Structure 1
Amino acid sequence: MSASGVRPLDPSRSRPDTPLVGVPGLGLSAATLRPVLHRLGGGTVVTLPGFGEPVPRHLPVDPQTQAGRLLDRVTELGIDTCVLLGHSASCQVVVEAAARAPGVVAALVLIGPTTDPRARTRSRLAARWLRTSVHERPAQVPLLVRDYARTGPTAMVRTMGAARRHRIETALVGVSCPVLVLRGPRDRISPADWTDTLARVAPHGASTTLESGAHMVPLTEPDALAAAIGAFLRTAADGRVTGHPAA
């Protein structure tokens, strides 16, 4: 294992030796991350309240508490060290987990992170979501409808409210592992200058924009996403993450 804690990918399997653990986005199920994890050779999806699971009334859903739940699940799975992958609002959760348990999290992958300071109000978030949704592929709609209905609108609003108040850019300063921030070129929820900013504040960060896709790139662009993540993990294992955004 390298000094960064990430082992190189085995070319024969195209997957890292360090286990991949993904957390789906707000209101989404494990199915949304399985395509990209499959292309990376496998991984585990951990669901949490509001992120693949219902939210019991009065249950705390702030990212710090969710990070504790995530780390407990990782321990229960018998995983000592892992690469955490977050999508959308779950990026807050995995960042908090990495800051809390640097010995457990070897690297972070943040796909379309939310809460750009310019769009933290409900109205601005909704406007960005609408501008992004017109670029998404219609084929994913049935899955998203099922997932959102399972979580429920009240739970989604409450969970997003907690995420909206969280400052992911502040939490990233305390993360010591390599960090990759990814987005689709038509993602208005997570614009390029925002992902570049997050990569810059992370001590060992890099950012990249895929050639196609919007916010739901784990479903719509799994091949390109897996290629970018695989390249990042090889670079991280070689100690070549510099802390500056990638082109």
Structure 2
Amino acid sequence: MPGLGLDERSSARIRSIVPGTVVRLPGMGSAEPVPPLDELAEHLRARLGEGPVVLVGHSQSCQVVVAAAVDPRVAGVVLLGPTTDPRLRTAWGLAGRWLATAVAEPWWQLPLVLAQWWATGPRAMVALWRRAAPDRTDLRLRQVTAPVTVVRGTRDRLCPRDWAQRLVAAAPDGRLVELPGAAHMTVQTHPDAVARILQSL
């Protein structure tokens, strides 16, 4: 699942190593109106096939992935930089953390990110954030029986270490993996490292 405003282009390099299917949903590669979070999760579950499957979410889509992960076909969950920290629920809190993370990102990826944001559109992106931000991913994770791997870059201020640890502790079977020197866009900047994590599952 691509992150807020992103689409299949964000994970293309990972999928060249580890084949996978990208599910576009409103606010995450699609400009359609954004339904409630549980409806988004139901749309994702409808695309799972017979299973077993490993669900991979990046950034804001981690909330949809966790909501869908109670499905018995889910054999594993990988959350890349989950941006569900309650401290980011205000626009000012989000903006401050986003700026602190953005300066740690390699600038070569900016055209790719902007192209994806343009395709999804600001209306869908804002609507997704408003729908998803109040949801308690840490509480939902208590119901996920599949192994959960939380991945964060050591320079990611949108997913600080204490928040990642809180999510890992909430999952019945959770572990934390940190990528040294990475910020938030690990799907684009560290595809080999992310691919190795997926291959280890």
TM-score w.r.t. the length of structure 1 is 0.78
2:9 maps to which residue? 31
Whole-angstrom distance in 2 between the partners of 1:140 and 1:161: 26
- Determine if the alignment matches structure 1 residue 71 to structure 2 residue 45: yes
Three-state SS of the structure 2 residue aligned to 1:208 is strand
Distance in 1 between residues matched to 2:54 and 2:7, nearest whole Å: 19
| Aligned mates of 2:68, 2:169 — CA distance in 1 | 19
- Cα deviation for residue 142 of structure 1 reads 0.9
Residues 212, 221 of structure 1: 8 Å contact kept: no
- Displacement after TM superposition at 1:117 (Å): 1.7
Whole-angstrom CA distance in 2 between matches of 1:25 and 1:158: 14
1:98 equivalent to 2:69? Answer yes
Distance across 1 between alignment mates of 2:15 and 2:149: 16
Could you tell me how far 1:97 is from its partner in structure 2?
Answer: 0.5
Is residue 52 of structure 2 the alignment partner of residue 81 of structure 1?
Answer: yes
Aligned to 1:156: 125
Residue 229 of structure 1 deviates from its aligned partner by: 2.9
Segments of 5+ residues of structure 2 without an aligned counterpart are none
Aligned-partner Cα distance in 2 for 1:36–1:196: 25
Q: Which residue of 2 aligns with 1:44?
A: 21
Alpha-carbon separation, structure 1, partners of 2:37 and 2:79? 14
Say yes or no: does 1:172 pair with 2:146. Answer: no
Instruction: State the 1:119 CA deviation.
Output: 2.0
Identity among equivalent positions (%) equals 45
Partner of 2:84, secondary structure, is coil
- Structure 2: which amino acid aligns with 1:93? V
Take 1:122 and 1:201, find their aligned partners in 2: how far apart are those partners? 26
Letter of the aligned partner of 1:164 in structure 2? Answer: A
- Does the 8 Å contact 1:109/1:180 carry over to 2? yes
Deviations 1:139-181 (A, max 9, x none): 1111111111111112111111111011100100000000000
1:1-247, aligned counterparts within 5 Å?
23-40=1-18, 42-56=19-33, 59-60=34-35, 62-75=36-49, 79-99=50-70, 101=71, 103-231=72-200, 233=201
Partners of 1:92 and 1:53 lie apart in 2 by 17
Return the TM-score normalized by structure 2. Answer: 0.96
Q: Which moved more, 1:143-152 or 1:82-91?
A: 143-152
Q: CA deviation at 1:182?
A: 0.2
Q: Which runs of 5+ in 1 are unaligned?
A: 1-22, 234-247
